[in-house]
């Protein structure tokens, strides 16, 4: 199968269940909402060694937020609800409560699982807190140095999906990278998914475990490493390919992941120098979700 003259390999992305909380951060301006969101979602690429996977989902227009201000939806993801509860408290308490002009609202009010983060944050007010209502939502008002911080009582979490992905093969590093950036631009417009790696892009996709260093949980996937393609038996890198980037997508459901993979791939193949699109999987042995590339289109 080809798209814009680029081969789409007949394979699938293998993905895993993960717990996801969704938080709406509003600010006096879009920029201040974004400053808080960036801090709150940093150090959040992969749960291999980060305390969470996290990212900005999309901007929210003032017309859709409870307080009528510009906002940003973020997602925070961990392998269990206990860790998620902790990460929510730590990341919102340290990176949003402390950030200029922000307020926090529940990004998944319909979810069965709710974390009472706003309730816990109110203790920071040391007795000066109060309760109020904004657009029908129960909100705590916490006096701080800048004025009042507003936090909705609960933040919802659900069982979502981590590790949706596709790989971009390029004739040069910068072709592949530009295609990756364009794919992330396209995915950034969507509802329900994040690309948690730096700039949304993975430069160093990994395999589970190791061939040589048994103490490593994850190591470079040498079959996808162009600089050693001549030395690796069974390399997956064609002669005319010199760089590969992976886009990793977490999302609240299968539909979100599929939409992101589809528009991401369609946009990536518009960049000159992209040679092939494929995806990462473990032969179906590890993850419960399989996203077949050919079925996206």
Closer residue to a second copy in complex, CB, 186/293:
186
User: Smallest distance from the beta carbon of 272 to a second copy, in angstroms?
Assistant: 5
Helix or strand run (H / E) with residue 31: helix 30-41
Q: How far is the CB of 291 from a second copy (least distance, A)?
A: 19
Q: State the Cα–Cα distance between residues 170 and 31, nearest whole angstrom.
A: 34
- How many C-beta neighbours within 10 Å does residue 144 have? 12
Rounded to whole angstroms, how far apart are CA atoms 217 and 88?
Answer: 26
Using alpha carbons, list the distances in angstroms from residue 210 to 184, 213, 217: 29, 6, 7
Sign of CA dihedral 90, 93, 95, 96: positive
Distance CA(230)–CA(50), nearest Å, equals 33
3-state secondary structure of 150: strand
Minimum distance between the CB of residue 76 and a second copy, rounded to whole angstroms? 10
The neighbouring-strand residues paired with 170 are: 243, 274
Give the shortest CB-7-to-a second copy separation in angstroms.
17
Token readout for 173 is 């590093």
Smaller CB separation from a second copy, 111 or 244: 244
For a second copy, which is the closer residue by CB, 1 or 216?
216
Nearer to a second copy, 38 or 159 (CB): 38
Question: In angstroms, what is the minimal distance from the CB of 112 to a second copy?
Answer: 27
Query: What is residue 265's three-state secondary structure?
Result: helix
Residue (4 or 288) nearer to a second copy, CB: 4
Q: How far apart are the first and last CA of the chain?
A: 10
- With respect to a second copy, which residue has the nearer C-beta, 9 or 148? 148
What is the nearest approach in angstroms of a second copy to the Cβ of residue 262? Answer: 9
């Amino acid at each position: 199968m080809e798209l814009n003259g680029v081969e789409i390999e007949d394979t699938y992305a293998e993905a895993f269940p993960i717990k996801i909380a969704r938080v709406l951060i509003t600010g006096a301006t879009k920029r201040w909402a974004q400053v808080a969101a960036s801090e709150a979602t940093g150090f959040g690429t992969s749960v291999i060694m980060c305390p969470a996977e996290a990212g900005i989902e999309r901007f929210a227009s003032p017309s859709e937020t409870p307080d009528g201000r510009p906002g940003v939806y973020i997602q925070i993801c961990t392998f269990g609800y206990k860790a998620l509860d902790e990460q929510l408290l730590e990341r919102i308490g340290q990176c949003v409560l402390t950030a200029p002009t922000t307020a926090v609202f529940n990004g998944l009010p319909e979810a069965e699982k709710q974390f009472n983060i706003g309730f816990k944050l109110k203790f920071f007010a040391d007795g000066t807190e109060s309760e109020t209502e904004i657009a029908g939502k129960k909100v705590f008002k916490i006096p701080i140095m800048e004025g009042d911080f507003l936090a909705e009582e609960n933040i919802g979490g659900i069982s979502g999906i981590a590790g949706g992905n596709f790989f971009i093969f390029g004739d040069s590093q910068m072709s592949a990278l530009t295609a990756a950036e364009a794919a992330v631009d396209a995915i950034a417009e969507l509802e329900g998914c994040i690309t948690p790696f730096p700039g949304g892009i993975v430069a160093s996709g990994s395999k589970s475990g190791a061939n040589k260093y048994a103490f490593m949980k994850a190591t470079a996937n040498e079959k996808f490493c162009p600089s050693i393609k001549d030395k690796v038996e069974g390399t997956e890198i064609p002669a005319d390919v010199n760089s590969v980037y992976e886009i990793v997508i977490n999302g609240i459901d299968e539909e979100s992941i599929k939409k992101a993979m589809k528009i991401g791939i369609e946009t990536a193949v518009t960049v000159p120098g992209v040679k092939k699109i494929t995806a990462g999987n473990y032969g179906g042995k590890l993850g419960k979700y399989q996203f077949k590339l050919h079925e996206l289109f």
